[in-house]
């Protein structure tokens, strides 16, 4: 660990944990954007590109959706060393999200609990911001010394849209896909957050299959010159039979040129195995848990999916990736790419560099990952 990393760890333990988590996030993100030229020099790591879904990723590590909901700092995040940045979740309509407080740290577990509720400025506003980014910010990535980062756009259901109205759900996702697909390197349909009522009901295959087909058609119309890869993000709390059904749907979707991959997994509604006292956790209330407590389940879900979908499907492993060993284990379990969020929160700006270096080690020893 460098002096830079030790300084962040001290500041996180003694300063950041005394500030409301959401406010600390805003301040930290502002610092990342302001410090992009410096962090780009700190994050340079020689890596071998990874090819997936017809895209070239500078490395296997990406930033999961949730950190940059409104596409405000893509270039700055890329400067830290992420090979891809996934923005969102973006909804068809702007929405404030759930009442505050809604974001909490569990330092003893290196975990985060959130019930943000897809707070974002809406697809139209984010599309405008991405248009500006496309024209200007990708050039600035080169000026601050980073390779072009792959941009993922994660879309979800607006809270006011009833989940039991399939036509309304599809129309809502259509709004986001039509506005955002032209700027996305890949598009993600999020049906797995626990913080939008009824959203996880859309993971049922009979609901998910027509939704994905509709988003695929909309994305193709919105981006006729370039096919935008489509993925679906699923929850870790699915039963094994439901996981198998999603895997089979994905295989059929890949064959029919509808779906290109699965992101496994989102946050969990489970609370088992935590070091933080149960009464303290209960007092925080509802929400999705991310971070180290999710490691074992997310890895198991990924491994089951890989055994079911075969070697060709792109799988993105996310959930509880805290250390380089965690990232390597996820690749060994079948991940084509990996993402982090809570590990980044606890690890600081130097965390992407450490994970990327660790991910390079298996290939240096001649070990093959999924691509």
* Within-domain flag for 371: no
Per-residue pLDDT, 17: 73
Taking the C-alpha atoms of residue 80 and residue 211, their distance in angstroms, rounded to an integer, is: 35
> What average pLDDT score do residues 314-340 get?
98
46 carries a ligand binding annotation: no
* Within-domain flag for 369: no
pLDDT digits (tens, 9 = 90+) for 162-186: 999 999 999 999 999 999 999 999 9
Hey, CA dihedral for 270, 276, 281, 287, is it positive or negative? negative
CA distances from 52 to 25, 56, 70, 103, 317 (A): 31, 7, 25, 33, 14
Q: Is the pLDDT of residue 106 over 50?
A: yes
120 carries a ligand binding annotation: no
Beta bridge partners of 314: 261
Q: Is the pLDDT of residue 251 over 60?
A: yes
- The more confidently predicted of residues 42 and 248 is 248
- Residue range(s) defining the domain that contains residue 148: 3-364
Per-residue pLDDT, 367: 42
Q: Which two tokens stand for residue 216?
A: 């695929």
* Within-domain flag for 256: yes
The owner of tokens 């848990």 is 289
pTM of the full structure: 0.93
Taking the C-alpha atoms of residue 129 and residue 7, their distance in angstroms, rounded to an integer, is: 33
68 carries a ligand binding annotation: yes
Return the number of other C-beta atoms located less than 10 Å from residue 9's C-beta: 15
Q: Is the pLDDT of residue 351 over 70?
A: yes
CATH number at residue 14: 3.20.20.70
Taking the C-alpha atoms of residue 22 and residue 14, their distance in angstroms, rounded to an integer, is: 17
Q: Which residues are catalytic?
A: 193
341 carries a ligand binding annotation: yes
Number of domains, the chain? 1
Residue 226 · residue 281 · CB < 8 Å: no
* Within-domain flag for 370: no
User: Predicted confidence band at 51 (pLDDT cuts at 50, 70, 90)?
Assistant: very high
Taking the C-alpha atoms of residue 134 and residue 137, their distance in angstroms, rounded to an integer, is: 6
* Within-domain flag for 196: yes
266 carries a ligand binding annotation: yes
């Amino acid at each position: 660990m460098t002096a830079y990393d030790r300084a962040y760890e001290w500041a996180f333990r003694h300063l950041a944990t005394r500030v409301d988590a959401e406010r600390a996030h805003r301040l930290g993100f502002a610092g990342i954007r302001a410090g992009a030229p410096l962090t780009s020099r700190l994050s340079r790591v020689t890596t071998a590109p990874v090819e997936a879904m017809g895209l070239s990723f500078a490395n296997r590590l990406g930033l999961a959706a949730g950190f940059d909901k409104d596409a405000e700092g893509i270039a700055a995040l890329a400067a830290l060393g992420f090979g891809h940045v996934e923005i969102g979740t973006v909804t068809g309509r702007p929405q404030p999200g759930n009442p505050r407080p809604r974001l909490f740290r569990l330092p003893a577990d290196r975990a985060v609990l959130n019930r943000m509720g897809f707070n974002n400025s809406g697809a139209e506003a984010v599309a405008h911001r991405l248009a500006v980014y496309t024209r200007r910010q990708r050039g600035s990535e080169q000026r601050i010394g980073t390779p072009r980062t792959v941009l993922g756009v994660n879309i979800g259901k607006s809270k006011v849209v009833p989940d039991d109205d399939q036509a309304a759900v599809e129309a809502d996702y259509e709004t986001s896909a039509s506005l955002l697909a032209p700027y996305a390197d890949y598009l993600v349909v999020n049906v797995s957050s626990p913080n939008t009522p009824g959203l996880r009901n859309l993971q049922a295959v009979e609901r998910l299959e027509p939704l994905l087909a509709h988003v695929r058609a909309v994305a193709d119309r919105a981006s006729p010159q370039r096919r935008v890869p489509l993925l679906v993000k699923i929850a870790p709390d699915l039963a094994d039979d439901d996981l198998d059904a999603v895997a089979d749907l994905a295989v059929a979707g890949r064959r029919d040129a509808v779906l290109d991959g699965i992101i496994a997994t989102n946050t969990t509604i489970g609370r088992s195995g935590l070091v933080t006292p149960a009464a303290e956790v209960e007092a925080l209330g509802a929400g999705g848990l991310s971070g180290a407590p999710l490691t074992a389940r997310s890895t198991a879900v990924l491994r089951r999916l890989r055994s079911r979908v075969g070697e060709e499907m792109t799988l993105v492993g996310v959930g509880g990736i805290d250390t380089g060993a965690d990232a390597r284990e996820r690749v060994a379990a079948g991940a084509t790419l990996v993402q982090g969020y809570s590990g980044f929160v606890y690890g600081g700006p130097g965390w992407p560099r450490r994970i990327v270096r660790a991910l390079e080690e298996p290939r240096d020893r001649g070990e093959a990952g999924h691509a």
